[in-house]
Structure 1
Amino acid sequence: MPTEVILVILAVALLLVFAFASIRVVREYERVVAFRLGRLRGPLGPGLVFMFPFLDKMVRVDLRVVTLTIPPQEVITKDNVTARVNAVVMFRVVDPVHSVMSVENHAVATSQFAQTTLRSVVGRADLDTLLAHRADLNEDLAQSIAQQTAKWGVEVSVVEIKDVEIPEMMQRAMAREAEAERERRAKVISAHGELQASQELRDAALTLSEAPASLQLRYLQTLLELGADQNSTVVFPLPMDIIGPLVRAVEQVTSAPEETKPADPVRKPGLAVVDRPLEGDSR
């Protein structure tokens, strides 16, 4: 085989190897930040990207949403309660060039800044706010973190406080407080029920007083209910219009003047009264 043919074959093989070594495939959710001899070429992709070996260097950047878990942080709330709080941060890269040029590792930087921001925001709130108004704290966290990460080409979409751990003594105190609150509500509801029942009873009494016959029917119904139980004792209610004259007569007798009462025999102290028979009495 002639030498020229061998050289041509070697040259073609080298070109093929060089071509295959220069081709890079960039996925749809990725971008490539390329540098040629240290100078920025800009973001490339998606699809086929040609990179010259030994001349170009590329950094792949994922554009998908990344879920970052913040480890538990020891926090002292505004009312001096120690708590352990962890959170979840969701972010994505919106500017690949800034995420590579402005910060060494945007994921680590976002995690560290989220931890410090979590301690700062939770430390400004009391325990009740941390437990009952968590949405407001999440919004403050998201705004604080997004304001810093925007310089790195990172967009923070969601920040959620995941779990709050408080001391066992504080848990028992909160349980007693919740129990006392439930008892208070039960007493208030019972009082309102008694008030409504008394109002209904008053209305029923007014209605019955306007119709005496209905009161008599109510008496008869009560007697039927008592007789259905086969009791040995029957309580018979007497209406006031029947026993009223008797009560008034007793009051008149008890309130009569003293002179109308029969005079009692006068007895002196230490002397006994003896009824002696008269003369001529046959006794």
Structure 2
Amino acid sequence: MIGFLGSLAFFLVFILVIALANAIRVVREYERLVVFRLGRLVGERGPGLVLLIPIVDRAVKVGLRTVAMDVPPQDIITKDNVTVKVNAVIYFRVVASQQAVVEVENYLYATSQIAQTTLRSILGQAELDELLAEREKLNQALQQVIDRQTEPWGVKVTTVEVKNVDLPQEMQRAIARQAEAERERRAKVINAEGEYQASARLAEAAAIIGREPAALQLRYLQTLAEIATENNSTTIFPVPVDFLRAFMSSAERGK
């Protein structure tokens, strides 16, 4: 009889220790406990030391830190009928732990599914050029739509970023040809602009020389000096009459 009572006492102490261990919870700063008492929502507890009633209370732990979740690659047909494969990353966090537990079965899975369907819907309304060039505007549209749908679950979507846009090979070649044609066009425009500026400068120089005959003679002498410096061979060149007229006038006055 004594042995039976001792075993019973040991068993009761063991059950009491387990119950106390389950009744005492330490909740970190970035966590909350959503407590249900006999199936009815009581509220959230934490952070710090939380005491629960054994057997009666059931607690669900919810993290409040920001979660970075990859959105798997999605096949998307753009507005101009181009098939691309796009993936993204979404940043969100729980702002109302009770709603995250009561309103949705698994808020992580639900947010992932909403992100995938919204990615296909929003990007399918954009053209390929917009998808490649206006990434920031599309990211903002995705964030607003996903956040509006997850708000009843107590989930706040802070950022959505489109990561990669995979194009078909033929589309990549077409874009490369388009970029090359654009570079050639810009080169021709720059070359034409340079020719225009050079011709304008030449016209100004011709006008100045036309007004000042002495400038033409000085330019002629400069050209002769350059030819004499660059070439060691004998060079025959015509001499303008206007250039010799000054020397002829001096000779006549000497006579």
- Structures share fold, TM-score greater than 0.5: yes
Is the deviation greater in 14-23 or in 154-163? 14-23
Distance 1:157 1:34, change over 3 A: same
Q: Secondary structure of the equivalent of 1:202?
A: helix
Counterpart in the other structure of 2:101? 100
Letter of the 2:108 partner, please give it. Answer: A
Counterpart in the other structure of 1:113? 114
After the TM superposition, which parts of structure 1 deviate over 2 Å for at least 4 consecutive aligned residues?
7-21, 231-243
Question: Shift in Å at residue 233 of structure 1?
Answer: 6.0
CA distance in 2, matches of 1:99, 1:178: 48
Q: Which runs of 5+ in 1 are unaligned?
A: 1-6, 244-283
CA distance in 2, matches of 1:190, 1:196: 10
Q: Secondary structure of the equivalent of 2:81?
A: coil
Q: Secondary structure of the equivalent of 2:49?
A: strand
CA distance in 2, matches of 1:49, 1:201: 90
Question: Shift in Å at residue 20 of structure 1?
Answer: 3.4
Question: Shift in Å at residue 103 of structure 1?
Answer: 0.4
Question: Shift in Å at residue 173 of structure 1?
Answer: 0.8
Deviations 1:118-163 (A, max 9, x none): 0011111110000001111111111110110001100000001000
Question: Shift in Å at residue 8 of structure 1?
Answer: 9.8
* Contact kept? 1:141, 1:159, Cα under 8 Å: yes
CA distance in 1, matches of 2:177, 2:152: 48
Q: Secondary structure of the equivalent of 2:179?
A: helix
Question: Shift in Å at residue 207 of structure 1?
Answer: 1.5
CA distance in 2, matches of 1:51, 1:231: 108
Distance 1:32 1:128, change over 3 A: same
Distance 1:140 1:239, change over 3 A: farther
Q: Which has the higher helix share?
A: 2
When the two chains are superposed, the root-mean-square deviation of aligned CA atoms in Å is 2.5
Is the deviation greater in 49-58 or in 105-114? 49-58
Q: Which runs of 5+ in 2 are unaligned?
A: 1-7, 245-255
In the alignment, does 2:67 pair up with 1:66? Answer: yes
Letter of the 1:207 partner, please give it. Answer: I
Distance 1:238 1:65, change over 3 A: farther
Counterpart in the other structure of 1:32? 33
User: Between Structure 1 and Structure 2, how many residues are aligned?
Assistant: 241
In the alignment, does 2:166 pair up with 1:165? Answer: yes
**TM-score (normalizing by structure 2):** 0.87
* Contact kept? 1:219, 1:237, Cα under 8 Å: no
Counterpart in the other structure of 1:255? none
Question: Shift in Å at residue 56 of structure 1?
Answer: 1.0
Counterpart in the other structure of 2:230? 229
Q: Following superposition of structure 1 onto structure 2, how do residues 253-272 of structure 1 map, counting pairs within 5 Å?
A: none
Q: Which has more radius of gyration?
A: 1
Higher relative contact order (CA 8 A, sep 6+): 2
Counterpart in the other structure of 2:196? 195
CA distance in 2, matches of 1:40, 1:96: 12
Question: Shift in Å at residue 21 of structure 1?
Answer: 3.3
Question: Shift in Å at residue 17 of structure 1?
Answer: 5.4
Letter of the 1:183 partner, please give it. Answer: E
